[in-house]
Amino acid sequence: MTPPASPSAAAARFTGRAVTGERRLSDALSEVALDDGRTVMAKRGDGPGAVRAEAAGLRWLAGAGAVPVPAVHGADARWLVTNRVAQGPPDGRAAARFGRELAALHAAGAPAFGAAPPGGPEDAWIGLAPMRNVPGDDWPRWYAEHRVLPYLRGAVDAGAVDAAGAADVERVCERLPELAGPAEPPARLHGDLWNGNVLWGADGRVWLIDPAAHGGHRETDLAMLRLFGCPHLERITDGYQEVAPLADGWRRRVGAHQLFPLLVHTVLFGGGYAGQAVAAARSALAAG
């Protein structure tokens, strides 16, 4: 079947309702009003497999029954249609609850590091960058091979990271077995947990959108949440630790876990992200 050509057509197809209005929020995202009074979101995929990966990720996160995510109405090769989240202001009580719920999400687990959500593709995406979900049972080796080094190679090839910076990132990868802290079981990660994917709901809860979900180390989600700032971050962390205390030294490991998203941003956007990635690598080496 040919995918619908517009956000409204996609929303009508996947909800079975007539459309009464449409508001474009960006080139890829629209709010679509339905004849039953609901508003849904219609998102156009960024590349092959992107919609399938995001839909599978949302369903997998929802299956944990922990942090709320928008319900998926349907997805095809081009469009994803989900519920719209009514938003409110950031709130400390909601932040602490989110921390507890994020801990429960992680504890729901995954079959392996790098495991894709059920029904999700191996060749997935994080934002606009391709991301391969290749299973592994040893986190330091898997993280180096499938999350850090592929993007480091891309950054070096683009001239964004010089030889000295690349050598420092490679040293982190070599030393990950000693830098990673105690072994952890695979966690059910959101995978792209920056502030823009955290919605403060009008219902007093924090909702998550736009996942790059996979099995990983729980500290990676938390490190990404710290990368670009988030309201009430310490309340979130405190709530998390009430349920699932982090291993000693977790703050020293933040830089190592931030290497992945920083290198992804370096490949996509260049500029200052390369310097931040190298600084994170040097911080990880110094902390170790």
Residues labelled catalytic? 192
Per-residue tokens: 13: 């197809």
Give the containing element (helix H, strand E) for 270. Answer: none
Are the C-beta atoms of 58 and 64 separated by less than 8 Å? no
Per-residue tokens: 51: 């919609």
Most distant CA atoms of the chain, gap in Å: 59
Among residues 79, 120, 106, which one has the least CA distance to residue 208?
106
Distance between CA 99 and CA 76 in Å, rounded?
A: 33
Distance between CA 90 and CA 81 in Å, rounded?
A: 25
Other C-beta atoms within 10 Å of 119: how many? 12
Burial string for 39-73 (b: 16+ CB within 10 Å, else e) reads ebbbbbbeeebbbbbbbbbbbbbbebebbbbbebb
Side chain identity at residue 85, one-letter code:
V
Residue 90's φ and ψ, nearest 5 degrees, are -60, 145
